[in-house]
Amino acid sequence: MEFLTAKQLVAKAKQNINEADVHAVSDMIKDPNTLIIDVREPSEFAEGHIAGATNIPRGVLEFKLDPDSSSDYPDLQNRTKQMVVYCRSGSRSALAVQSIRMLGFSNAYSMVGGMEQWKQSGLPWTN
């Protein structure tokens, strides 16, 4: 069995997922049907997030998206709906999108650079 570092695991995930930079995401979320998922911890979310984002921490994401486990988020049961996933820097979101794809969601994107890049680019956020 091959063992990887966290950095290698993220790099491997990024080879198999869709990514979008913050400017593309800014355009994507203008569509009110696009789901915005923040996979950071609640304390991070409270410090600032993209308006309209739903906070589902990375540690429980798969269970919240699985219709057999949860019905907390009915909008997240549509496996073809466009979804943007972000975290602080883009690593957790890459791993999250890899899992999301394995659950059958075909239109999920990880936001490159995460919330750090979003803020550095001067894009709007709320808390």
Sorted by where each begins, the domain ranges of the chain are 9-120
Fold of 9-120: Oxidized Rhodanese; domain 1 (3.40.250)
67 pLDDT more than 90? no
Long-range pairs, 93-96, Cβ under 8 A, ≥24: 93/39, 94/10, 94/13, 94/14, 94/17, 94/19, 95/9, 95/10, 95/13, 95/58, 96/37, 96/39, 96/58, 96/61
Which residue(s) pair with 111 in the sheet?
A: 20
70 pLDDT more than 70? no
Q: Is the Cβ–Cβ distance between 37 and 54 less than 8 Å?
A: yes
Mean pLDDT of the region 40-67: 94
55 pLDDT more than 80? yes
Q: How many CB atoms lie within 10 A of CB 12?
A: 13
CA atoms within 13 A on the CB side of 73: 18
Catalytic residues: 87
By three-state DSSP, how is residue 119 classified? helix
Spatial separation of the C-alpha atoms in residues 13 and 9, rounded to whole Å: 6
73 pLDDT more than 90? no
> What is the per-residue pLDDT across 80-118, written as a single tens digit (0 to 9) for each?
999 999 999 999 999 999 999 999 999 999 999 999 999
Spatial separation of the C-alpha atoms in residues 49 and 87, rounded to whole Å: 9
Q: Is the dihedral of CA 89, 90, 93, 99 positive or negative?
A: negative
